[in-house]
Amino acid sequence: MGAQLRAVRRRIRSVQSTAKITRAQELIASSRIIRAQQRLHAAAPYARELTRAVEAVVSLSENINHPLTRPVENPRRAAVVILTSDRGFCGGFNANLLREAQRLRGLLSERGLDSVSYVAGRKGITWHRFRQLDIAAEWSGFSDMPRQANAADVTRTLLEAYRQPADQGGVDEINIVYTEFVSMLTQRPVVRRLLPLEIRETAEVPPSGPLPSYDFEPSPEDVLNALLPWYVESRLFHALLESAASEIAARRRAMKSATDNANELVEQLSREANKARQAEITQEISEIVGGANALAEAIRE
């Protein structure tokens, strides 16, 4: 009985130590999520105005024939950019994202396209290496705090691959898989086609209002050549920020759930320890009473 009580107490101490770690991780994530949301909101005006500028150039140009907007007639290879995390303790964040990437690969295969993987984040890199899947390029070290320079580095690599023909190792299409930040409780993996850009003709007024009237120098085509790489970089940077906010929110939720489960387990183990201790006390009392009765009978004899 004593050995069982010691084992339960030892397990209680172990679970309490785990709860302290998960609680600390939860507090760290709670402090970082505010900054991640602020960075996401701060980048939104730049991305919105850059999108309006691109829309204005496209709307005021008679003929748009740019490599980043012109689909390939017979595409053969498609890039799949996957934004995972560098660290764990974030629940199903990476598993859901990689599952969505696998689904995208299946859809591309049905279209007759070969998938080329570009992975950001140590978790995604490790996942691909463990399954011996080829990776065209990889990046890590900035999943929870991406910088503009990181987005520029990734964009440069993707644009170089997009400008090359498919038979020379290039790609005809670029898709990005990342986690969209909806709220503190909801983050969902999404797939967006990054290139070629989709141009649709419509007579409706944009939700943000009528497009401004620009004067382009030296020509709309030259302006578009300068804007589109920035536009692609802006979209990628926004996806990195969304993924970072989603990662921290998922980690906070996972660590809170782990802490709550650890506290519940401590309560259960405490009840088991109390029962074992009560049984031990009852046994000791029974032995004392039994010994006293035996001594009394011996004296009477």
Q: Kindly list the catalytic residues.
A: 90
Cα–Cα dist 244/178, whole Å:
10
With beta carbons less than 8 A apart as the criterion, state whether 88 and 250 touch: no
Cα–Cα dist 173/201, whole Å:
21
Per-residue b/e over 270-279, b at no fewer than 16 CB within 10 Å?
A: eebbeebeee
Cross-strand bridge partners of residue 137 = 118
With beta carbons less than 8 A apart as the criterion, state whether 117 and 133 touch: yes
Residue type, 152: A
Neighbour tally for 169: CB within 10 Å? 11
Residue type, 148: Q
Q: What would you measure as the largest C-alpha separation in the chain, in angstroms?
A: 123
Of the candidates 176, 179, 108, the residue with the CA atom closest to the CA atom of residue 144 = 179
DSSP state letter for 202: -
